[in-house]
């Protein structure tokens, strides 16, 4: 295992953005609407009801400056969340409770546009990612556990990292800049990953999800897009 940022970051650095969403309360949350197609999936977010050029109303950021990073865009009828980070590291999070035992697969599409210069998630001073998606779980009144999936410019695919004193478990899904400006589809088994990386048999209901395109450590810029966020049974 490679440790990243475990000592250099305050405990709330990685999951803090979604804490705001979690503390708003969990009552009355539905899993989501049924996704079209053969897959037995439900939609977390397709941005269909969001206003172009704005942060979706259901999404929260920990700092007001994060509202300038994330905005909904439309391209050929596809709605997606665009992230444009200029030396910032602020997550956008959506509160959404689901049971991984019922919907173990988290699926989405993402597209890297601009990789942060000199980024390498293995170093505290270079720990920026063009794209990152989190599945977030309750832990304590002041913290959460997260599974973080990243597209890294140079860290090998499959690398396992940790941060926030082990509360965030990171897996590199894609590596390299060759896929810039091209959409890629991802599917991860959150149920299996939680058990594997946190070493626990019992997996709690997930509290929400978050995305992060950051460039604060490298003091550079990064851009990426997120679309078609959904949950699947298989």
Q: What is the pTM of this model?
A: 0.86
Domain edges within the chain: 2-232
Q: What average pLDDT is seen over the chain?
A: 88
- Number of Cβ within a 10 Å radius of residue 124: 14
The domain defined by 2-232 folds into Jelly Rolls (2.60.120)
Once rounded to an integer, what is the mean pLDDT over residues 156-180?
97
In three-state secondary structure terms, 106 is: strand
Distance CA(71)–CA(53), nearest Å, equals: 5
Q: Which of 224, 200, 227 is nearest to 85 (CA)?
A: 224
Could you tell me which residue, 28 or 230, shows the higher pLDDT? 230
Pairing mode of beta strands 131-140, 143-152? antiparallel
Once rounded to an integer, what is the mean pLDDT over residues 100-112?
98
Distance CA(176)–CA(133), nearest Å, equals: 17
pLDDT for position 29: 37
pLDDT for position 28: 33
pLDDT for position 16: 43
Residues 114-145 have pLDDT tens digits of: 999 999 999 999 999 999 999 999 999 999 99
């Amino acid at each position: 295992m490679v440790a990243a940022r475990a000592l250099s970051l305050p405990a709330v650095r990685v999951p803090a953005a979604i804490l705001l969403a979690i503390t708003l309360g969990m009552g009355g949350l539905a899993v989501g609407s049924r996704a079209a197609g053969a897959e037995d999936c439900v939609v977390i977010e397709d941005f269909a009801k969001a206003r172009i050029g704005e942060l979706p109303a259901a999404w929260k950021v920990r700092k007001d400056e994060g509202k300038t990073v994330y905005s909904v865009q439309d391209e050929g009828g596809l709605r997606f969340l665009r992230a444009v980070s200029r030396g910032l590291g602020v997550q956008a999070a959506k509160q959404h409770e689901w049971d991984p035992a019922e919907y173990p697969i988290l699926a989405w599409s993402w597209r890297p546009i601009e990789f942060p210069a000199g980024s390498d998630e293995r170093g505290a001073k270079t720990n920026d990612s063009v794209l990152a998606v989190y599945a977030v779980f309750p832990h304590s009144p002041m913290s959460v556990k997260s599974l973080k999936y990243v597209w890294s410019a140079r860290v090998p695919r499959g690398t396992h990292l940790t941060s926030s004193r082990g509360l965030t478990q990171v897996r590199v899904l894609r590596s390299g800049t060759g896929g810039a400006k091209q959409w890629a589809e991802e599917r991860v088994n959150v149920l299996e990953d939680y058990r594997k990386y946190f070493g626990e048999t019992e997996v709690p209901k997930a509290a929400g999800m978050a995305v992060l395109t950051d460039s604060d450590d490298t003091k550079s810029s990064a851009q990426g897009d997120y679309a078609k966020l959904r949950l699947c049974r298989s």
